[in-house]
Amino acid sequence: MAKRCTQPARSPSKARSPFRIRSSRLAPMNIALTYVSAWAPICLFPRSIPELCQKDTPNCSLQGETEGAEDASGTADFPHPAQSIHMTTAFVYDPFERNHSFPGHPECRERMESTWTLLQSDGILDSLTRLPNSPAPLDPILAVHNAAYVEQLQEICREIEESASDGNTIPQSWNQSALWLDPDTYVLHDSWKASLRAVGGLLQLTDAVMNGAAGNGFAMVRPPGHHARPNNAKGFCLFGNVAVAARHAQQSHGANRVLIVDFDVHHGNGTEEMFYDDPSVLFVSIHQYPHYPFSGSIDEIGLGPGEGFNVNIPFPAGVGDAGYRAALQQLVAPLAHKFGPDVIFLSAGFDGHWMDPLSGHRLSVSGYATLVEDLLTLAQDLCGGRLICTLEGGYDLNALPHCILSTLRVLSRNPAGISDPFGTVEGDPRAAGKVISTVNRRLGIR
């Protein structure tokens, strides 16, 4: 049976929305949308999903493939913000992710390979605390995902592995089989293990920050997670990495209130859905709209006790650095101060860069660095500097490495500063200002 989420205890005052909503209560939102592709894939050899995916499996027995993995759950209380801020920056990267990659797909191993090459040549890694990684145990994943879906994903990957071992590969030269869970999202025989390690890396980072071993950190993991829904994969994503980590911070570290900021160019529909009725998690998504996955309108504000704790800032195409920073300063910061988070998570998608093939925005490397700087300052003001970043999108193989390098320099206060080899492209400030004003009026922010 699907495992029920256990939410941390909250006083009535903590369950109030941090702002006034200028509208009557909305009808429940149907988040399930007609599927539209996130990219224009060249699916040369798509294969149908096994019948298993179409079956209901209410009674499932999961078999964890995590032999030798350490339990990623922690028990220590997180340091109080009044204590001195430990500014060590932790970093997670696991090269096993290379085993989850499909030729010609934008979400590919080359994203990390190009980034890793730059980080090594720059020397930034010497100033970071490298954390070991291991596959996530299943319990934290089942806190936000349906057990039937998790079992199906595990079984699909096992069937692919068995098929590949029989020599049934497509094409033979790739030495791998692939199945498509939707027009965008592929799985290979190692995708299950890679996904567990992506979640596991972020859990290790969460433990380090919440236990005070690090002040902040960045998990350079893939596959990404913010599109994954409780019951299915979506938009390149298999597990909701940041959602798993946020709930883990609550259940294992006693964080009562968690703020998740998502500045990926695509709306974080999966993260939104997992906390849509939960007032203990404030989710704020800044994204291009209309754009894949064609959710994330201003009217999506949460449901029931979670009404008012889901905030979307849907920018039209063409918004740049100034618009995003204005959203952080005029909307995110006031909301965060009213909410009072114990930790801030950042879904760091860099696909809003002006060079990115999946974006119509005009952000820059230096612009992203400024956003991270602002969020780090916010974390220092509100929650002892606890800012936990995890990679989402970013598909230009030149821009992405420099966005990540600049983020790490900001987090670690690296004296080298920010270097933007690609420069900036001016965005449309009027378009951003109109959306910010609309959201401001709707939420009654002061």
Q: What CATH number is given to the structural domain containing 203?
A: 3.40.800.20
Q: Residues, the chain, total?
A: 446
Output the furthest CA–CA distance in the chain (Å, rounded): 64
pLDDT below 50 — which residues of the chain?
1-15, 19-36, 40-76, 80-86, 169-176
Report the C-alpha gap between 353 and 376 in whole angstroms: 20
* pLDDT given at position 444: 85
Give the model's pLDDT for residue 33.
Answer: 30
402 in helix, strand or coil? helix
Residue 106 resides in a domain: yes
Report the number of distinct structural domains present in the chain: 1
Q: Which residues contact 229 (CB under 8 A, 6 or more apart)?
A: 31, 240, 269, 270, 273, 274
The catalytic residues are 227
Residue 69 falls within a domain, yes or no? no
At residue 60, the pLDDT reads: 32
Q: Is residue 413 part of a domain?
A: yes
Decide if 13 is inside a domain.
Answer: no
DSSP annotation of 328 reads: I
In whole angstroms, give the CA distance from residue 354 to residue 290.
17
Spatial CA neighbour of 115 closest among 90, 133, 93: 93
Q: Is residue 48 part of a domain?
A: no
Residue 167 in domain:
no
pLDDT value at position 79?
A: 54
Domain for residue 155, yes or no? Answer: no
Rounded Cα distance between 274 and 247, Å, is 10
Distance CA 249, CA 75 (A): 10
Residues 283, 257: contact at Cβ < 8 Å?
no
Is the CB of residue 368 less than 8 Å from the CB of residue 350? yes
Query: For residue 309, what are the domain limits?
Result: 87-134+199-443
The pair of structure tokens assigned to 282 is 């404030």
Residue 218 placed within a domain = yes
Q: Indicate if the alpha-carbon torsion angle 11, 341, 207, 221 is positive or negative.
A: positive
